[in-house]
Amino acid sequence: MFPMVTGFMNYGQQTVQTARYIGQSFMITLSHVNRFPVTIQYPYEKLITSERFRGRIHFEFDKCIACEVCVRVCPIDLPVVDWKLETDIQKKRLLNYSIDFGICIFCGNCVEYCPTNCLSMTEEYELSTYDRHELNYNQIALGRLPLSIIGDYTIRTVLNSSHHKRQ
């Protein structure tokens, strides 16, 4: 008879423990009911990037002195700098500057170490294309500033999902 009593006690303890686990999981589920949705409808809603966001690199051709510091600090030696030495003034003249964003890891070292601040990070992150060769930007493409999504009325910008009311 003793094993039967301990069996009932174990069954009772297991039942209480199971009910406690179900109650705890139900409380966790209820705590998530009042949370705002995390997902956004991407093409129609876009997140406003933070101030320190590292997007596409913007290049100012007139400021560059062709010192190649950006190439030396890049972990993958990515920027291609073509220059010509002007013998009469003993200075380098920049001919071409290009970055392949298909290879770039967006570390920001080139922007940080540039002595003339001719490189800067933009908020542009939509660089997808069907042809990877289109990701090789020359100085003209790098010089274009990205369009701001804040002024576009067809796109709803989402600042932070916790600050907005649920729809």
pTM: 0.68
Q: Locate all alpha helices (DSSP H) within the chain, ordered by sequence.
A: 2-33, 69-73, 109-113, 139-143
Answer yes or no: are the C-beta atoms of 28 and 91 closer than 8 Å. no
Q: Nearest 5°: phi and psi at 79? A: -60, 135
Rg (CA), the chain: 29
Closest C-alpha to 76, from 59, 99, 53, 54: 99
Check the annotation: does 70 bind a ligand: yes
Q: Rounded CA gap, 124 and 22, in Å?
A: 46
Query: What count of other Cβ atoms lies within 10 Å of the Cβ of residue 120?
Result: 14
Check the annotation: does 104 bind a ligand: yes
93 beta partners: 84
Q: What is the mean pLDDT of each run of 10 residues along the chain (167 residues)?
A: 66 90 94 84 83 93 94 94 90 93 95 96 91 94 80 66 46
- If phi over 0 gives left and psi between -120 and 50 gives alpha, with beta otherwise, what is residue 117? left
Predicted pLDDT at 167: 45
Structure tokens at 5: 């009593």
Look at the block and give the residue holding tokens 């190439």.
Answer: 71
Sign of the alpha-carbon dihedral angle for 62, 98, 139, 141: negative
Predicted pLDDT at 43: 79
Structure tokens at 44: 């129609």
Check the annotation: does 118 bind a ligand: no
Predicted pLDDT at 73: 96
Predicted pLDDT at 135: 95
Q: Nearest 5°: phi and psi at 94? A: -75, 130
